[in-house]
Amino acid sequence: MNPKTKIYFGPPIHVLTEGQNNTLEISGKLNRTAERYMEIMKDHGLELAESERACLTQICDFGFMAPYEIRELPIDVRMTKFEAEGLDKECLAQKLEAASIADLISVVEDLGF
């Protein structure tokens, strides 16, 4: 069990816990959501070559990526000037287009963004 900590309730957490006033209910909702999220991350993602990972790292390197930006990764891959040995940008873009949003989010999370 971790000690209590204060957290900032940004808009997503506010929406998630809207209508709940009891601290235990809110804590339970956040913990259930985090547990389910971690399970999704275990079961999703894409097999990527090192050159593909390097390309996506370059694209994501500005920091936080909103869900709409994650959905636009195929466009970003096609537009990037990044080059690496063995990188086929069109193949990577197609792989990303075929992926679910859970797979794309898992990739971005795995890259540390």
What does each C-alpha distance from 47 to 2, 37, 64, 81, 107 come to in angstroms?
34, 20, 22, 22, 9
Q: Give tens-digit pLDDT for 2-18.
A: 777 888 889 999 999 99
Q: Is 4 part of any domain?
A: no
Q: Give tens-digit pLDDT for 34-72.
A: 999 999 999 999 999 999 999 999 999 988 899 999 999
> Are 80 and 59 members of one domain?
yes
Q: Is 5 part of any domain?
A: no
> Are 103 and 54 members of one domain?
yes
Domain interval for residue 97: 50-110
Q: Is 101 part of any domain?
A: yes
Q: Is 1 part of any domain?
A: no
> Are 64 and 95 members of one domain?
yes
Give yes or no for a contact between 97 and 74, defined as CB atoms under 8 angstroms apart. Answer: yes
> Are 68 and 95 members of one domain?
yes
Q: Considering its fold, how many domains does the chain have in total?
A: 2
pTM of the full structure = 0.84
